[in-house]
Amino acid sequence: MWPFSRNSTTTEAPLSVTESLQQSVPALMSTPIIDDEPISTLSNETQPYFRQPLDRLGLDPATRLVAISFSAFSLAFALGVKEGGDTAGFRYRAENAHRLPTSEAGWYLYQKSKGYHTTIGGVRQGIKNGFGFAGWAALFVAIEEGLDRARGRIFANANEREQGLLARGQRDVLSTVSAAVTVAGIYSWKNRLDRFAATRMTKLGLKIAVPLALAQDVLATLRGQSPRYVEWILRRTLERI
């Protein structure tokens, strides 16, 4: 008799993949997977000072240093290309004023050579200005961050010092303005500027630093990390109301 005849006993239908797993490995289907290592529940207030979210403009110090330095380099490079290109073009015209071309081909080569010197001079001046401004910007950010951390350690209470934390609300306009004045003083001393030029340099630094500092304080307040002086002003205002 053939094994697949009508009188033969029919076999059961094969189990599906899901049914096989449920019967063979029920623990995998019913028991949740739990990690043996507990998840860190340290909040921002209990983390050490080197792991706290000490940031301005919503950026950590390293990212802010790179961003501001790159922005300063880009702006100075663009201005340097314009200034250096114009200077190189005027220099080329002055050096070749006694031998101006007299033919159409000569004027073509003259303009081509002038464009080459203008481009080279602009790129050189742009790179020089860019790295110079980027260095001063990096110094400004480093001094600002150092003042923030120093003030955070000085004004920290006993509990914060025991836990290695920095005092909250000390990253404000005072550190930014102090860093700007310090950088202006170092720049004036390095370039041997006189008293009047140093004063103008300091005023220029304050014109840039004060709006930047106020913008950072407003952003920090909106993010829930308002400086202490903002909290004091709001508290006094509410008390009078």
Helix, strand or coil, per DSSP, at residue 59: strand
Residue 131 CB neighbour total at 10 angstroms: 16
Residue 59's φ and ψ, nearest 5 degrees, are -125, 145
Cα angle at 105 between 102 and 108, to 5 degrees?
100
- Residue-wise pLDDT for 155-205, tens only, equals 888 888 888 888 888 889 999 999 999 999 999 999 999 999 999 999 999
**Confidence category of residue 14, pLDDT binned at 50, 70, 90:** low
pLDDT: is 13 or 82 the higher one?
A: 82
Quote the pTM value. Answer: 0.71
For residue 35, which amino acid is it?
Answer: D
DSSP code at position 156: -
CA separation for the pair 219, 214 (Å, rounded): 9
CB 73 within 8 A of CB 190: no
Contacts of 138 (CB under 8 A, 6+ apart): 65, 68, 69
Closest CA to 168 of 51, 54, 43: 54
CB 216 within 8 A of CB 167: no
**Confidence category of residue 240, pLDDT binned at 50, 70, 90:** confident
Contacts of 19 (CB under 8 A, 6+ apart): none
Closest CA to 131 of 64, 204, 61, 70: 70
Structure tokens at 3: 């094994």
Q: What is the mean pLDDT of the chain?
A: 81
Residue 97 CB burial class (10 angstroms; 0-12, 13-18, ≥19): exposed
Closest CA to 176 of 150, 210, 199, 127: 210
Residue 76 CB neighbour total at 10 angstroms: 22
For residue 96, which amino acid is it?
Answer: N
- Residue-wise pLDDT for 80-122, tens only, equals 999 999 999 999 999 999 888 989 999 999 999 999 999 999 9
**Confidence category of residue 2, pLDDT binned at 50, 70, 90:** very low
For residue 123, which amino acid is it?
Answer: V
Residue 54 confidence (pLDDT): 54
CA separation for the pair 143, 184 (Å, rounded): 12
Residue 157 CB neighbour total at 10 angstroms: 9
CB 164 within 8 A of CB 49: yes
CA separation for the pair 98, 114 (Å, rounded): 15
